[in-house]
Structure 1
Amino acid sequence: MQVYDQMSAVEAQKIDVTKINTEMKDAEHVSFPSLFEQVIPQAAATPISDSTSDLVKVLPSALSASRIPVPEPTVFSGDPLSYSNWKLSFQTLIDQKNIPDTEKIFYLRRYVSGPAKRAVEGYFLLGTESAYAAAWKFLDKRYGNPFTIAKAFIDKLHAWPKMTSRERFELRDFADFLSSCEAATAHIKSLEILNDCNETRKILSKLPDWLAASWNRKVIEIEEQTNQFPTFSQFVEFLTREAKIACNPVTSLQSLKQCEPNKSDKPKLTKQKEIGVKTLMTTSQEKIQLVCVFCKKPKHSLHKRRSFLEKAVSDRVSFIKSERLCFGCLKPGHHLKKCTNRNICERCSKGHPTCLHEDS
């Protein structure tokens, strides 16, 4: 606003530019560059209303930019695979700020948790500049070690569950993880073990059978062309393409099956009716079974009637014949050949009731 006032004074009184520069030096004690002498005449020739409108246009954008949420680092809990990203975010957002180390160690304590926080808890108690540097040195040694990161990649790869042919999105997640392993191979030499054919076999055990067979054909083609086993990068490229094909939302096999009308709805209803009828029949048969055929009393079956079990086996067989019961389940209405629910003898484990067992 002081510059605008000076420009209005220049336009009104037509003072020399050097005089304006001298007055502003006396007022603000600031040395303006020589470029200011070239800008002032052009600004003086511009109407003040245009400059004000430009300033009004800039103010809303500045206000909206000030409303953006302040970024902050994530919380590190001890996973070696996320240590590098967390360290970069912490250094960018906090460590590079012009604040003392005693205050930085407070933020470091805030953005660690779990095993990582317990490992450096002693440095937080000191609260000195040397403690802050020592805490970072300890974290780098434990979680930033290339061998530790490589082992975390391999362990997660070996612990990945086996996928079925219908798990297309899980296949894409697995391909994405292998891509991250490939990217880390350029910086971690220990991950070059993934180029070994034995490690590839372990990875193949996680894939569906049809995809393992497709990779086998690809291996034969590459071996016939180069006389070498495919590298891990070639395997990741193959798997990424197959996952892309399997997850195509228009032409993939799973998407086509979802679009097909369900033709088996009516037969399912018929089967449900049949199952309902069978259930009713079974329930009615169970109600009949609750009445003992031998003593004509309810709440127990023929198997548990003591007076029937005290008879000889031949007498039991004669009674079952006279009542026209099944020799497999002791229920009426069918013969042994058509019995679908035979009892298992507790003595010989054969298909007849225990009450009809005879040692001879």
Structure 2
Amino acid sequence: MLHRQKDLTELMVRQQNLSLLPKRDVPVFNGDPLSFQPFILAFEHSIENNTSNCQDRLYFLEQFTEGQAKDIVRSCMHMDARRGYAEAKQLLKKHFGNEMKIANAYLEKAFNWTLIRPDDGEALLAYALYLRECLNAMQTLDHLDELNVASNLKLLVSKLPYKLHERWRNVVYEHSQRNNTRIRFTHLVEFLEHQSSVLLHPVFGDIKDPPPSKSPVLKAKPDTKTPRRGSSFVTSVMPAESQLQPHEQKVEHLKRNGHCFGCLKKGHLSKDCIKRMICETCKCKHPTLLHINSENADCCQQCTDHS
């Protein structure tokens, strides 16, 4: 009697301690294979273990699912409660808890991970933690052994900032020289966890490269005159800066690049030009670009001398 009374007392203490724990919430399962195992464990622990009524279990299973998963559970609700609950759990595992599907979901998420920006310690830590999750899942999912394949390791490393590529190459080289074995997925996970810890150092983790200096950009004044035939060609021939330079420098630029002084095109001299442009200022047969802004009456003669 004393022994039985002791057992009852211990049971009452355990029940009292359980009542003081926070309420255990069951997540709603939406069909994501990566969420199936946490969901089914939480459901069995919080609901299945607390009621032996299969009808209640089936109703709760329907309540905590959505999308295709809910449709599967509902398709079993016309059966006998015991059979329907067992069938619903089996179908959920078949469609969402299959080991190959779970492994493929892990691989797809890892291979499609967003590129990590340089010095983004938080993003690098998130990537390292997810790959640690994959490494842990490898203990029970044989299909995740594909992460040890060299081509897949290279794909995972491609998500890293460029400067980490060189550090990883050094790790691979030193490992091969020291152990004479190929690198494995677990080494990459350890490398990323170390690098993320370095970037998130509480004192020196936020040191960043200074921004590159920007040289001032000179902008040409807009031309408010109405363009004539060939004016768009003039803009492409002469750089924006040179349009603001003295007449002699314009002439030197055209000579150096072999342009005609009559139409500004290449391949012939102005004396052989048959498509001379008309100056908008003095109406002479030379481009407006080459007009001399002065009262000098020899403007056209100077253009002819240059040709």
TM-score of the superposition, structure 2-length normalised? 0.66
Residues 34, 128 of structure 1: alpha-carbon distance in 2 compared, 3 angstrom cutoff: closer
Q: Output the amino acid matched with 1:248.
A: H
Q: Which residue of 1 aligns with 2:99?
A: 146
SS in 2 for 1:72: coil
Of 195, 207, 224, the match for 1:256 = 207
Within a 5 Å distance, the mapping from 1:319-338 to structure 2 comes to 319-320=279-280, 322=282
Q: Which residue of 2 aligns with 1:53?
A: none
% identical equivalent positions: 24
Hey, what's the Cα distance between the residues in 1 that align with 2:283 and 2:199?
A: 64
Q: Output the amino acid matched with 2:199.
A: A
Q: Output the amino acid matched with 1:215.
A: W
Q: CA deviation at 1:202?
A: 1.4
Q: Which residue of 2 aligns with 1:357?
A: none
Hey, what's the Cα distance between the residues in 2 that align with 1:320 and 1:171?
A: 63
SS in 1 for 2:40: helix
Q: CA deviation at 1:168?
A: 2.5
Hey, what's the Cα distance between the residues in 2 that align with 1:228 and 1:182?
A: 19
Q: CA deviation at 1:320?
A: 3.3
Q: Output the amino acid matched with 1:256.
A: I
Of 47, 58, 82, the match for 2:35 = 82
Residues 35, 76 of structure 1: alpha-carbon distance in 2 compared, 3 angstrom cutoff: closer
Residues 123, 248 of structure 1: alpha-carbon distance in 2 compared, 3 angstrom cutoff: same
Instruction: Confirm whether residue 210 of structure 1 aligns to residue 163 of structure 2.
Output: yes
Hey, what's the Cα distance between the residues in 2 that align with 1:164 and 1:158?
A: 17
Residues 319, 216 of structure 1: alpha-carbon distance in 2 compared, 3 angstrom cutoff: same
Q: Output the amino acid matched with 1:318.
A: I
Hey, what's the Cα distance between the residues in 1 that align with 2:150 and 2:105?
A: 20
Hey, what's the Cα distance between the residues in 1 that align with 2:50 and 2:291?
A: 90
Q: Output the amino acid matched with 1:197.
A: A
Segments of structure 1 that go 5 or more residues without pairing to the other structure are: 1-31, 37-61, 293-300, 305-312, 336-360
Asked whether the 8 Å contact 1:73–1:111 carries over to 2, the reply is: yes
Residues 315, 196 of structure 1: alpha-carbon distance in 2 compared, 3 angstrom cutoff: closer
Within a 5 Å distance, the mapping from 1:268-287 to structure 2 comes to 282=222, 285=223
Q: CA deviation at 1:232?
A: 1.3
Higher relative contact order (CA 8 A, sep 6+): 2
Greater mean deviation of Cα atoms: 161-170 or 219-228: 161-170
Of 64, 73, 83, the match for 1:120 = 73
Instruction: Confirm whether residue 94 of structure 1 aligns to residue 47 of structure 2.
Output: yes
Cα shift readout 1:315-335 (whole Å, capped 9, x = no counterpart) = 8722336269x95xx789999
Cα shift readout 1:158-211 (whole Å, capped 9, x = no counterpart) = 111222314322111111111001101111111122122222111111111111
Hey, what's the Cα distance between the residues in 1 that align with 2:199 and 2:48?
A: 44
Hey, what's the Cα distance between the residues in 2 that align with 1:153 and 1:196?
A: 15
Within a 5 Å distance, the mapping from 1:1-360 to structure 2 comes to 70-126=23-79, 128-252=81-205, 255-257=206-208, 282=222, 285=223, 288-289=224-225, 292=226, 302=228, 317-320=277-280, 322=282
Hey, what's the Cα distance between the residues in 2 that align with 1:117 and 1:34?
A: 48
Residues 33, 251 of structure 1: alpha-carbon distance in 2 compared, 3 angstrom cutoff: same
Residues 203, 334 of structure 1: alpha-carbon distance in 2 compared, 3 angstrom cutoff: farther
Bigger helix share: 1
Q: Output the amino acid matched with 2:149.
A: D
SS in 2 for 1:96: helix
SS in 2 for 1:164: coil
Q: CA deviation at 1:103?
A: 1.3
Residues 164, 263 of structure 1: alpha-carbon distance in 2 compared, 3 angstrom cutoff: closer
Hey, what's the Cα distance between the residues in 2 that align with 1:177 and 1:215?
A: 18
Cα shift readout 1:83-104 (whole Å, capped 9, x = no counterpart) = 1111111111111112411111
Asked whether the 8 Å contact 1:105–1:127 carries over to 2, the reply is: no
Residues 331, 132 of structure 1: alpha-carbon distance in 2 compared, 3 angstrom cutoff: farther
Residues 149, 302 of structure 1: alpha-carbon distance in 2 compared, 3 angstrom cutoff: same
Asked whether the 8 Å contact 2:62–2:70 carries over to 1, the reply is: yes
> Quick check: which has more Rg, 1 or 2?
1
Hey, what's the Cα distance between the residues in 1 that align with 2:4 and 2:100?
A: 57
Hey, what's the Cα distance between the residues in 2 that align with 1:171 and 1:315?
A: 65
Residues 333, 201 of structure 1: alpha-carbon distance in 2 compared, 3 angstrom cutoff: farther
